Amino acid sequence: MSAPPVTPALRLRPRSAWHVATVVETRRETPTAARLVLDVPTWPGADAGSHLDLRLTAPDGYQASRSYSIASSTPHGQVVLAVDELPDGEVSPFLVREVRAGDQLELHGPLGAFFVWRPGESARPVQLVAGGSGVVPLYAMAAAHGVAADTTRFQLLYSVRTAADTFFADELAALTGPAFGLDVVYTREAPDGWPDAVGRLTRETLAARTVPAVQRPRVYVCGSTGFVEAVARWLQELGHAADDIHTERFGGI
Amino acid sequence: MRLPPGQTLVQDWPVLSAGPTPQIDTADWELTLQDETGADHRWSWDELLALGVEDVTVDIHCVTHWSRLGMSWRGVSLDKVFENVESEHEYVMAHSYGGYTTNLPLEDLLDGKAWIATEADGGPLHPEHGGPARLLVPHLYFWKSAKWLHGLTMMPDNEPGFWEQYGYHIYGDPWKEERYW
Amino acid sequence: MTHHLDGNVLAGALSEIFTSDVTAARARCAGCGQTSAIAEAMVYTDAPGLVARCAGCDQVLATVVDAGDRVMLSLAGLSAIELRR
């Protein structure tokens, strides 16, 4: 009897640890979000889709920790995050408005073995569905897919309020090609001349603009809790198996 | 400064919860107090309010390190709720709509130390803060002030409730920093 | 309205306890028998501890209380967890 093949990548998954990161650059990503580029010399690298926990300590010792998806990272190099400011957030307002180059942050990662994509693991097509800032880990997957010149068919359906609210717009546009298709749904306001209807994502649009269930894609859905749960429910109604749908909720409605 | 050790003063009111927020209409609301005789003492919303609602200003201390000082509440004193209850048991398990529980010695609910609160910060208690009614036991960490109060059960022993089973202190005195086991 | 996240957010807290990331590990709810990845649990993080509830029946699967120099972990709501080698 022969043992089933062991995926070598499982053994090489980077171990999580605490790191001190120095902010290299912070810039506005959308009207409510910032892109942070961090220098993390001890970073081991991360699978696309991973996240990290960022911990802030106030002068009186009070600590707050939040999870953020990694947009991109390189071993021993830089980690890029995109943080959306929550109106009543405890940590995000600081990261979006106060953080400056030279500041140091404590982070714990890379984390997450469930919501990750690695090249070469499967020949099945991949459907990504993003709501707002939920695109961050999905952008990481699309970028990793591009870097690896992976030929698996990738599709991203990105639901976003307006063009200005789009994360990694240029980078996503540059990734489009034979192996990566990008579909955008504007829910509040579309650019001039946009041919499609403006409004919340519906089951019908989801059905029309995603890899059909009959092709058995692996699906990754990320966004607010409300968005993810609605999309996941629709996907199952459209025939996708529950096991084929990976979800990551960012909270909120 | 009236802050217990390890606490940070806040001006807002953070929402903490271990599960979904129950939505209970006062028309359906009921409080049940069970003692060892098997007798059920019950109060509807109107019956609770008829016991007498008073204004109280208290400091509250959450085990997650935040404190609010001088917070205004309105509620019914537990002394009124226990007035006609005779029990040999010395401990109480508070039960919430939604399944949460927390345990307290009976003496920590009496003698003006605790209320069933119906209003906070000058208005009706919002569901996310435990409305329509919650326990208010300011001298203990605030996880003992069970939200969405539904029942009180007398017990002979100090059985641990939800957080007490999962790692929190059986009593919870903020001034002695009794946070964990 | 209290919002919930999902078990992906447990990765950090559980990484101190398990030798590898367990969010992809399957676990069975002791209440309703539903078996799914830890990442698929409904997780409440705005609490004195992390509370993971079964997506099927809402029962508490696990709790993690960070007590500074120690962590209190309960897996009492799981009947078992599958850890791949």
B17 domain-assigned = no
Mutate to test the interface with A, among B65, B67, B177 (most CBs of A within 10 A): B65
DSSP alpha helix (H) spans, A36-93: 92-93
Q: Which pLDDT value is given to residue B60? A: 97
- Residue B166 structure tokens: 């999962």
Chain centroid to Cα B79, Å, comes to: 14
- Give the CATH number of domain A8-111: 2.40.30.10
Q: Which pLDDT value is given to residue C3? A: 80
C-alpha A111/C-alpha A220 separation (Å) is 17
Q: Which pLDDT value is given to residue B1? A: 65
pLDDT tens digits, one per residue of B86-131: 899 999 999 999 999 999 999 999 999 999 999 999 999 999 999 9
C78 is in which domain, residue-wise? Answer: 5-82
Q: Which pLDDT value is given to residue A8? A: 47
B44 is in which domain, residue-wise? Answer: 30-176
C-alpha C40/C-alpha C24 separation (Å) is 9
Number of domains in chain B: 1
Contact list, B14 vs chain C (CB under 8 Å)? 46
User: C21 vs B2, which has greater pLDDT?
Assistant: C21
C-alpha C52/C-alpha A210 separation (Å) is 31
Q: Do A53 and C7 touch (CB under 8 A)?
A: no
As a whole-number percent, the residues of chain B with pLDDT over 90 amount to 88
Q: State pTM to two decimals.
A: 0.92
Q: Do A112 and C21 touch (CB under 8 A)?
A: yes
Question: Long-range CB contacts (< 8 A, 24+ apart) of A55-62?
Answer: A55/A105, A55/A106, A55/A107, A55/A108, A56/A91, A56/A94, A56/A105, A56/A106, A57/A106, A58/B8, A60/B8, A62/B8, A62/B65
Smallest Cα–Cα separation from B71: which of B163, B145, B180, B6?
Answer: B145
CATH no. for residue B50? Answer: 3.90.420.10
Q: Where are the domains of chain A?
A: 8-111, 126-250
The side-by-side arrangement of strands in the sheet containing C35-37 is: C35-37, C26-29, C78-81
- Shortest distance between the Cα of B141 and any Cα of chain A, in A, equals 17
Who's near C53: CB < 8 A, 6+ residues apart?
A: B19, C4, C41, C42, C43, C44, C59, C60, C61
Residue B1 CB: number of other CB atoms within 10 A? 5
Q: Is the ipTM of this complex over 0.85?
A: yes
DSSP B46: H
Contact list, C63 vs chain B (CB under 8 Å)? 166-167
Contacting C residues, span 21-60, partner chain B, CB-CB under 8 Å: 44, 46-49, 51, 53, 58, 60
Contact list, B9 vs chain A (CB under 8 Å)? none
User: Which residue in A10, A111, A252 is closest to C11 by CB distance?
Assistant: A111
User: Which residue in C51, C58, C67 is closest to B180 by CB distance?
Assistant: C67
Q: Do C48 and B180 touch (CB under 8 A)?
A: no
Confidence of residue C1 (pLDDT cuts 50, 70, 90): very low
- Residue B34 structure tokens: 């069970």
pLDDT tens digits, one per residue of B3-45: 999 998 988 888 888 888 999 999 999 999 999 887 889 999 9
For C77, which residue in chain B has the nearest alpha carbon?
B166
Number of domains in chain C: 1
Smallest Cα–Cα separation from B60: which of B9, B122, B19?
Answer: B9
Cβ pair A228, A222 in contact under 8 A = yes
Inter-chain contacts counted by CB atoms under 8 A, chains A and C: 67
C-alpha A215/C-alpha A110 separation (Å) is 31
3-state secondary structure C5-43: EEHHHHHHHHCCCCCCCCCCCEEEECCCCCEEEHHHCEE
- Shortest distance between the Cα of C76 and any Cα of chain A, in A, equals 22
Q: Which pLDDT value is given to residue A90? A: 85
Question: Long-range CB contacts (< 8 A, 24+ apart) of A186-190?
Answer: A186/A160, A186/A161, A186/A162, A187/A159, A187/A160, A187/A161, A188/A161, A188/A162, A189/A161, A189/A162, A189/A163, A190/A162, A190/A163
Q: Which pLDDT value is given to residue C2? A: 58
Q: Which pLDDT value is given to residue A3? A: 59
- Shortest distance between the Cα of C39 and any Cα of chain A, in A, equals 7
Q: What is the mean pLDDT of residues C8-16?
A: 94
Pick the CATH number of A126-250 from 1.10.10.10, 3.40.50.80, 3.30.360.10, 2.30.30.110: 3.40.50.80
- Please report, in tens digits, the pLDDT of each residue of chain A (253 residues total): 555 655 444 456 788 999 999 999 999 999 999 999 999 999 999 999 999 999 998 887 778 899 999 999 998 889 999 999 998 888 999 999 999 999 999 999 999 999 999 999 999 999 999 999 999 999 999 999 999 999 999 999 999 999 999 999 999 999 999 999 999 999 999 999 999 999 999 999 999 999 999 999 999 999 999 999 999 999 999 999 999 999 999 987 6
Contact list, B168 vs chain C (CB under 8 Å)? 48-49, 65
Cβ–Cβ contact B39 with C under 8 A: no
Q: Which pLDDT value is given to residue A9? A: 46
E-state strands within chain B: 8-9, 30-34, 40-44, 53-61, 66-77, 91-96, 101-105, 115-120, 123-124, 134-136, 149-155
pLDDT at residue B181 tops 80: yes
3-state secondary structure A160-174: ECCHHHCCCHHHHHH
Adjacent-strand bridge partners of A248: A222
For A64, which residue in chain B has the nearest alpha carbon?
B64
Cβ pair B54, B75 in contact under 8 A = yes
User: Which residue in C51, C72, C74 is closest to B18 by CB distance?
Assistant: C51
For B30, counting Cβ atoms within 10 Å of its Cβ (0-12 exposed, 13-18 middle, 19+ buried), the class is middle
B181 domain-assigned = no
User: Which residue in C1, C8, C12 is closest to A248 by CB distance?
Assistant: C8
User: Which residue in C3, C5, C37 is closest to A114 by CB distance?
Assistant: C37
For C22, which residue in chain A has the nearest alpha carbon?
A113
CA distance readout (Å), A42 to A13, A45, A212: 15, 9, 42
Q: Do A58 and B8 touch (CB under 8 A)?
A: yes
Length of chain B (residues): 181
Cβ pair B23, B126 in contact under 8 A = no
Q: Which pLDDT value is given to residue A242? A: 96
